[in-house]
Structures are given as C-alpha cells and as structure tokens.
Structure 1
C-alpha cells in the first residue's frame, strides 16, 4: 500500500472525521455533521471535499442529482499509514521510545487487544 496523502488543516481533518463516522455523505450531510464552529459556507465545504477527492482521500460518485463523497480508506488504514510514514523516518531508538509512550497511554484492555493483533499479524507473516 502506497503512502496516502496527509490531511492538511483542521477543517480537512474534521471533514474526514465526519465521513469516517457516517460512511458517505453529500456536502450538506457533511456540513451538518461538523462541529458548530466549523460548519462554514456550503461552497467552502464543497471545495474542501473536492480537494480531498482530488488528492485521493475521498471518492465521489454522482447519485441522481447530487455528489456523494466517501472515504477512500478506513480511518485505521489512514492512521496506520501516517504512523508508519512518521516512524519510518525516525531512528530505531526514537521509534521504540515513541511506540512505548503510545502503549503506556493505553488502558490494559487495549494493550491486551494490541497483543492479540500483533500475534495475529505474526501468524499471518508466518513468524512465531
């Protein structure tokens, strides 16, 4: 999987969050899902949605007389790609320390789930 473009700015991040939550939406549906202070003009939201689509973060499809926008990838895939790109550019020691700090912020149930997911990934790769 290639590196996905990064979300740029708070409004793009809020729009992506709305679409990850609702799955798909029109300009007005996305606009109504934004936090109160972020729901700008219809044309502003439409412009940002189109830019996100042009950059490959969203898909857009005409349904009847309207355009419906959908995330081009899951939120988990996006975050995973962004983390991987960031960690790949760091030294080995910085990478380990950053991951340790992230794990330290998780509650015990999340750490257990992470352990299980890591084991599953090792098994899929064929390593013990």
Structure 2
C-alpha cells in the first residue's frame, strides 16, 4: 500500500514489485494486489496487457478506518481512547485538542 500511496499515478504489478523490493516474487505481489482490490482497498484497470492499481483511500483515511474498526471491536471504547490519547506526544495532543475545539464550535 505504501508504494501505491506514494505514487501519483496507478502502478502495474511490476512497478509495485520494483518499489517494494524485498525479493518478493511477481506472482506474490500480483496475488496481494488482487486480494486488496477484492477487499475494496484498491481499484484496478487494464492497461494494455497489464493491470494498474491505485488506492481507493489515501493513507490517512485508511488509517482512520482501521482505528474505527478497532474501536468497534473492543468493549470499553472510552478506555481505549484514553489510553491512545495518553500515548500522544505534545504536538499530537495539540493537534487533537485543536481539532476537537474546532469541531465543538461547529455545533
């Protein structure tokens, strides 16, 4: 996903393989891309004899969706949120405070 988020254009399997490196076989990369597309995380289109892939959401939106999924899966959401907030550094906490303040002003 990182290779696709970093790209400004859709990538072929070969291009993703080159970006990822790590000695992954072409078929392995192709299988991963196909599965991510089936899960709705990627879009896919034909380009000549190959397929190109691009993310359906940007990195921030995808991370936020994962956090929401995690929150829905736990019993005490408040505790999880408090633990998460307690681990933020000062800059991150300020970003969250500012956003919450702006959000409460919209009501």
SS at match of 1:28: helix
Matching residue of 1:58: 42
- Cα drift, residue 122 of structure 1: 3.3
Give the Cα–Cα distance (whole angstroms) in 2 for the partners of residues 65 and 123 of structure 1.
53
Taking a change above 3 Å as real, the CA distance of residues 27 and 88 of structure 1, as seen in their structure-2 partners, is same
- Cα drift, residue 64 of structure 1: 4.1
Q: TM-score, with normalisation over the residues of structure 1?
A: 0.69
Give the Cα–Cα distance (whole angstroms) in 2 for the partners of residues 44 and 26 of structure 1.
13
Structure 1 gap ranges (5+): 1-15
Q: Does 1:29 align with 2:15?
A: yes
Count the aligned residue pairs. 106
Give the Cα–Cα distance (whole angstroms) in 2 for the partners of residues 35 and 102 of structure 1.
33
Q: Once the two structures are superposed, what CA deviation does each residue of 1:38-85 show, in whole Å capped at 9, x if it has no partner?
A: x41112211211121122110012234432110111222222222212
Taking a change above 3 Å as real, the CA distance of residues 60 and 121 of structure 1, as seen in their structure-2 partners, is farther
Matching residue of 2:97: 115
Give the Cα–Cα distance (whole angstroms) in 1 for the partners of residues 42 and 13 of structure 2.
13
Matching residue of 1:6: none
Structure 2 gap ranges (5+): none
SS at match of 1:69: strand
SS at match of 1:40: coil
Equivalences for 1:83-122 in 2 at 5 Å?
Answer: 83-91=67-75, 94-122=76-104
Give the RMSD, CA atoms, in angstroms.
Answer: 2.1
